Amino acid sequence: MSFAYACLVPGLPHILAPGNHGAYRALAAAMVRAGDDMQERGIRRLLYFSTQWLSVLGHLIQARPHVVGRHVDENWHDLPEVGSLPFDFKIDVPLAEATCAALNQANFQSRLVNYEGFPIDTGTIVADRLINRHGFTANMLSCCVYSGYDDTKRLMRTVTRAVAADGVPTALVVVSGLSGRYFTTVIDPQEDHISDPGDDVWNRRILALMEQGQQVELEQAVADYARQCKVDMGFKALAVLAGAGIFDRPAQLVTRAYGSIYGTGAAVVTVP
């Protein structure tokens, strides 16, 4: 694996609210701890792949040197204290350009984005606020809706080579949920739980397989899992992690936290 660290984290803003407890608090604490781990291991740069930054005509790569603003989620604009999310990212532009060039050379249509007001997705902002308390530069790659599992793996192999080329210690942060069955009515956050018990069983099975490094079994199960549990973007997150080579060394993944966010499954899984 050419990334010096990798993790899978959730990207819903509920976990940011001050005064949280239960799963929200545990998930947020695990993300903070992952950021501290990165700092200790000498990480200097993050690459975010968020399933909430969607593209349809190939992939987009953030290339604005300083991305700053305030974001309001289209769903969660009314969350107390976190309805508006300020953000401030420093981008490694040479890496963005190198990644874009490598992807285009490998026949993945890719485009740099460098626009004032470009809407950074909620997932990346949530992850960055919890993980990035150490001033890492933070690059971003979009999630192409039409990129299938194998294409995404191949894409990530290209991205991983581009990241490795300059030798800067980099962590891959994949922002994605697990089962995606939201509650569709207003709930009391204190009563949040995985909305379907079957989803909970599936989530735990997938996390166990990840911890065991069972890539073949995971890849055999992913289509069923995605369909039955309405998994966030068909669990493209697994393809991203696999393409980045996290299964090259078996049994490296650790689940730091697992729980529900508004009925969906969420976990913090790290690859130390």
Nearer to other proteins, 73 or 244 (CB): 73
Nearer to other proteins, 91 or 207 (CB): 91
Nearer to other proteins, 177 or 259 (CB): 177
Least distance to other proteins, CB of residue 237, Å = 19
Helix (H) or strand (E) holding 198: helix 197-211
Nearer to other proteins, 11 or 35 (CB): 11
- Helices 197-211 and 215-229 sit at what angle, rounded to 10 degrees? 160
Least distance to other proteins, CB of residue 261, Å = 12
Residue ranges in contact with other proteins by CB under 8 A = 53-58, 60, 70-72, 74-75, 77-78, 83-84, 109, 111, 113, 115-119, 121, 146, 181-186, 230, 262
Cβ atoms of residues 173 and 51 within 8 Å: no
Least distance to other proteins, CB of residue 117, Å = 4
Nearer to other proteins, 184 or 190 (CB): 184
Alpha helices in 5-111 (DSSP H): 22-40, 93-105
Cβ atoms of residues 119 and 84 within 8 Å: no
Judge residue 260's burial from the number of C-beta atoms within 10 Å of its C-beta, 0-12 exposed, 13-18 middle, 19 or more buried.
buried
Least distance to other proteins, CB of residue 29, Å = 26
Alpha-carbon distance of 143 to 139, in angstroms, equals: 13
Alpha-carbon distance of 239 to 25, in angstroms, equals: 28
Least distance to other proteins, CB of residue 126, Å = 16
Cβ atoms of residues 85 and 74 within 8 Å: no
Q: Which tokens go with 30?
A: 């695990």
